[in-house]
Chains A and B, each alone.
Chain A
């Protein structure tokens, strides 16, 4: 033979071996790769937060400066500013501390010195001047792209004078709190040394002719509390006022009525009467942050109580300090909480109760701090004049194992629950990302579907493989296999738009047929026993049973359909759904688990059927022959001999069917209400993991918490099916080894 040809052939063989091996291995590794990739996307949910000190410098000319009352920083962590007692706002570069700009604030009353300042919302500063007047100033940062300079970004800043409150007539207050909302409604609360407590509200009132008219109301009130008022906070809209006392009491006021401020309640928050040292509102103005003398940080909101109405209740206990809490601040963009004490600043998240980071500057005491509006950075100023700029990397503060799987007490809820409600229209929404109701929904739907499918499929397979005539077997098996190919979108569509209204209309008939069909079957079997004595009939019966029995089933269902409405009239006063609601409190959902049982059951029957039938057919005929020869009846042979031998295969088939039902998406998407409720009732819908992914992923921002949580739910689905399939596959391989191939 031509050696060149031989060489070529051999070379081809080597190349082919190489290509095939590499290709084969690659495809096989892709399974693992899929898991790794989706797990990798969801992994950052559980990463611990990171802090990074990216700049630290000594403030220049510190000695010459007045005491610093407030600080602020832009969202890019490039420009910071500090506000001193002389009302000067000094802007500086965060990287090195070099001065950028200096602006002088003045009170409209001419005062030049500040007593105190408080930061709230997005860089709003409430300034109390030494004559008792209050102004609210906002610092605005905006990025600017310079076209002349190759579109370099620089940060511009601007001061906005939002409101001015005149000095009170009682002299200088001890504590002052003031807010202005977007409609110009101004609220000022003062506490004087004399114990007088004054609330001043100014509103723009629309007169009949459209011209705005300013209305001012002042109220002097007695504070009826055991302890002295030590902390005070107002919601950003100036409606909710909370006071904390030295004896651990919290007073809740409602200032929505201009001429009638209402003290809603006085709560003894801490039984040990510890002093409340700091109060503030969590972003969204629903929850109250409480910092106390013993270093505890907790959040509270009013919960409806059957006896006493709305009662302020402690909801979350956050990571505390070793020392008394000096101040608490909300994050301006999520439900995180900052608390400062002698041991530094703690950042925690309210919903997940996760302690995120602690920021401290060694032995130096932090005097002032500011957080960026995106929550990605904090700058601190120590009593030694050191400015530190921290970059925070807290990608998913609201997610923890507890929020994903445990019960969480969400804002506005009467008790801790499992809830899935990923988003709403507003920024200050508290996302509810509990996977428990979704896993519950998946298992619930699967359970009902399997309840319907498993008996039908297994008994059908037994009949087909053992009792049916071979000529039927040749038709039935391929027919069922073809059934398996029917797209689930079609099954789901029919279930939702054809079956659901049908069952809703004839619920009574459906339940009646559940009784009538078995009864009719029993009756017809007994009757047949009488009739089969005639020998021609006896010849016919074997292998044809399913054809004979089909009309009986159809007839029974038809009778149920006719009798159903009458029965409903007679037993349930004409409306079974109403009766169900009145008697058991179950609401009938038109798209419920009955529909799912039928539809998803229909989708998994072919899978269970095919695999079971295969394993039943592959039991060696010798076993069957031996059993029959010993005098066992055909059913006894099947039940005692063949079924035990084939049971691993049947088990495998059931497992694979289970895996299919768990991951089925279109049917549940279309035929359930897709509400994430946890209720075992067959008359409700549910929201399974798979449909949830399909519904939410198109809306989920890439790499956000929701996006990653959805990937996590895909991982859970993957693992569920992986376990089930692997078990099934191992069982099948064992069986294969035992009985040769099938």
Chain B
């Protein structure tokens, strides 16, 4: 036997290849994580970049304007085909089109091609032909259009203000209606001064409301008078009302600076804008706001509860079989599937407590539920239950890591247990408690299943906070980033068109969650290092 084979055999026998294989497992694990992040980044980051518009001439003589999405081999693998976003949903029906590469005769990037983001029907790709302002039609260029749009914009702003007023008025009317319901329920007679005052108030409001509606109709009609004529790839004309145009730009004539500015503006819109087109376009503001509110309300409950439970377990309860069982229970609580929490929240909070609140405080509104239906409060409470174990475990760990001498020193100086707790232990454990809280928040930000049945909706009519008394409306339904992903990715009628928005939302959520949890883990590791001298 040669030395090489001998060496080889020894190499196998001592298990060196197994070390390599375990290294390979780790490599696969890390690679999948990297791929996951890369897919999200690649798909999410490019969404708002104003990529160039191409004008293609096909062999059958047709012209196409579109944005290249991707190219891949055809089914038989002999050639390439490209996917273009051709937009103009109202003209073509579909936003996307596959074109075989050998069908393309010529391809150019004309500078005058425009992208119109519209309130309805998605984007429009084409060229500007003429403007119709105040009844006169004339040929125009992009600057004219932009100028006209700015003028329309002021009108639209006025309309928005009106809309706000209308919203307020209808809120007031709803309040009056509920008040009247209450009077009726209590049996206040119709000629009672209170009822009379109410109906007078209602009459005034009705009149004001009607007046506002009139103004709105008139202004709306005026704002919709100005139009512009566009042509698509094949020269078909399309008249578009200026008020329907959300934004217009010519990506092919933009420089790098312009493009970066445009990208930043779009990012800003993502954070502060309202969703459009059944959530597949526009901003994420209500979803972000709902998520933040949810995390906030949840923390209000889960943080004190978790910390108190942990303090009890670690500092007050006597070690023994009971505490052992309790620890098992807490760890179990952490392991219960989130959907079980969800169904518990539905059965206990929504249908149990919520119905009781309704029948005690709002009997006049029944059968329309107030608290007896999913809402921010119930979702937050459900999530609080779900995240309490996270806080308990981290707080306990942090308290346990504090060396005994600290406590004994404090007692020796004559302080009570509570004083020791508040002055010595809690401050020392605070990084650990923070870790738990941040981890709990990250969990709440990403959890969807229990929310789906306790109050999250695809489009909430109003935010949980507004200017109407009592300002916090915890009974309202809300939107959530995680549910947003599920909703637009799976429930939207046009999945392909919704994909960019899903990826953007995903990217945002991943960034939020990863940021939070890395901060938490960093905090925890720091704390571990600080107290390791106590353990060995």
Residues on A lying within 8 angstroms of B by beta carbon are 9-10, 12-13, 16-17, 19-21, 23-25, 27-28, 30-32, 34, 37-38, 41, 455-460, 462-464, 467-468, 476, 478-494, 496-498, 521-522, 525-526, 528-530, 545-550, 552-554, 565, 598, 602, 605, 609, 633-636, 639, 656, 659-660, 662-666, 669-670, 690, 693-694, 697-698, 702, 710-711, 714, 717-718, 721-722, 724-726, 729-730, 733, 740-741
Chain A residues lying within 8 Å of B4, measured Cβ to Cβ, are 530
CA distance A741 to B528 in the complex (A): 12
Residue of A with least CB distance to B514: A482
CA distance A637 to B394 in the complex (A): 33
Chain B residues lying within 8 Å of A635, measured Cβ to Cβ, are 14-16, 18-19
Chain A residues lying within 8 Å of B352, measured Cβ to Cβ, are 37
- Which chain B residues in 96-128 approach chain A with CB under 8 Å? none
Q: Given contacts A483-B33, A485-B513, A725-B331, is CB(A493)–CB(B489) below 8 Å?
A: yes
**Which of B20, B32, B40, B421 neighbours the largest number of chain A CB atoms within 10 Å of its CB?**
B20
Contact B27 A497 (CB under 8 A): no
Contact A13 B418 (CB under 8 A): yes
18 A/B residue pairs, CB under 8 Å, sorted by A: A13-B419, A20-B308, A27-B308, A460-B29, A462-B22, A464-B26, A467-B22, A478-B518, A490-B446, A490-B510, A493-B486, A496-B489, A498-B39, A526-B8, A546-B26, A552-B24, A554-B31, A741-B535
Residue of A with least CB distance to B329: A31
Point out the residue from A478, A664, A726 that lies within 8 Å of B525, measured CB to CB. A478
**What 1/0 mask marks residues of chain B from 423 to 436 whose CB sits below 8 Å from any chain A CB?**
00000000000000
Residue B23 is within 8 A (CB to CB) of chain A in the complex: yes
CA distance A455 to B388 in the complex (A): 31
Contact A490 B331 (CB under 8 A): no
Contact A493 B339 (CB under 8 A): no
Chain B residues lying within 8 Å of A34, measured Cβ to Cβ, are 336, 340-341, 344, 385
Chain B residues lying within 8 Å of A714, measured Cβ to Cβ, are 339-340, 343-344
Chain B residues lying within 8 Å of A670, measured Cβ to Cβ, are 486, 489-490
Contact A23 B335 (CB under 8 A): no
Chain A residues lying within 8 Å of B483, measured Cβ to Cβ, are 489
Q: Given contacts A494-B40, A602-B32, A636-B15, is CB(A23)–CB(B331) below 8 Å?
A: no
Q: Given contacts A21-B316, A23-B312, A490-B509, is CB(A697)–CB(B343) below 8 Å?
A: yes
Chain A residues lying within 8 Å of B18, measured Cβ to Cβ, are 635, 639
CA distance A547 to B77 in the complex (A): 34
CA distance A528 to B21 in the complex (A): 13
Chain A's nearest CB lies how many Å from the CB of B116? Answer: 27
Chain A residues lying within 8 Å of B385, measured Cβ to Cβ, are 30, 34
Point out the residue from B335, B522, B535 that lies within 8 Å of A659, measured CB to CB. B335
CA distance A554 to B338 in the complex (A): 35
Chain A's nearest CB lies how many Å from the CB of B273? Answer: 22
Chain B's nearest CB lies how many Å from the CB of A675? Answer: 16
Contact B29 A666 (CB under 8 A): no
Contact B448 A489 (CB under 8 A): yes
Point out the residue from A460, A487, A633 that lies within 8 Å of B448, measured CB to CB. A487
Chain A's nearest CB lies how many Å from the CB of B290? Answer: 15
Residue of A with least CB distance to B314: A24
Q: A496-B489, A663-B339, A725-B332 are in contact. List 7 more A-B contacts (CB 8 A).
A: A19-B308, A24-B308, A486-B36, A494-B506, A553-B28, A633-B15, A721-B332
Chain B residues lying within 8 Å of A530, measured Cβ to Cβ, are 4
Q: Given contacts A490-B510, A549-B23, is CB(A721)–CB(B446) below 8 Å?
A: no
Residue of B with least CB distance to A460: B26
Contact B340 A38 (CB under 8 A): yes
CA distance A228 to B418 in the complex (A): 93
Contact A17 B417 (CB under 8 A): yes
Residue B407 is within 8 A (CB to CB) of chain A in the complex: no
Stretch at the interface among B54-62, B437-445, B458-466: B437-445
Chain A residues lying within 8 Å of B446, measured Cβ to Cβ, are 485-490
Point out the residue from A549, A639, A710 that lies within 8 Å of B20, measured CB to CB. A549
Residue of B with least CB distance to A10: B416
Q: Given contacts A41-B347, A529-B7, A721-B337, is CB(A487)–CB(B509) below 8 Å?
A: yes
**What 1/0 mask marks residues of chain B from 374 to 400 whose CB sits below 8 Å from any chain A CB?**
000000000001001000100000001
Residue B166 is within 8 A (CB to CB) of chain A in the complex: no
CA distance A693 to B505 in the complex (A): 26
Residue B326 is within 8 A (CB to CB) of chain A in the complex: yes
CA distance A662 to B337 in the complex (A): 8
Sort A-B residue pairs by CB-CB distance and give the 7 closest, nearest first.
Answer: A663-B337, A24-B312, A487-B446, A635-B15, A545-B23, A633-B14, A459-B25
Contact B513 A665 (CB under 8 A): no
Q: Given contacts A37-B348, A724-B335, A726-B328, is CB(A489)–CB(B486) below 8 Å?
A: yes
Contact B449 A666 (CB under 8 A): yes
Chain B residues lying within 8 Å of A480, measured Cβ to Cβ, are 29, 33
Chain A residues lying within 8 Å of B315, measured Cβ to Cβ, are 20
Point out the residue from B24, B29, B333, B510 that lies within 8 Å of A605, measured CB to CB. B29
Chain A's nearest CB lies how many Å from the CB of B417? Answer: 6
Chain B's nearest CB lies how many Å from the CB of A392? Answer: 25
- Which chain B residues in 436-495 approach chain A with CB under 8 Å? 439, 442-443, 445-449, 452-453, 482-483, 485-486, 489-490, 495
Chain A's nearest CB lies how many Å from the CB of B377? Answer: 17
Contact A726 B332 (CB under 8 A): yes
Chain B residues lying within 8 Å of A741, measured Cβ to Cβ, are 400, 535
**What 1/0 mask marks residues of chain B from 262 to 276 whose CB sits below 8 Å from any chain A CB?**
000000000000000
Q: Given contacts A32-B329, A741-B400, is CB(A497)–CB(B489) below 8 Å?
A: yes
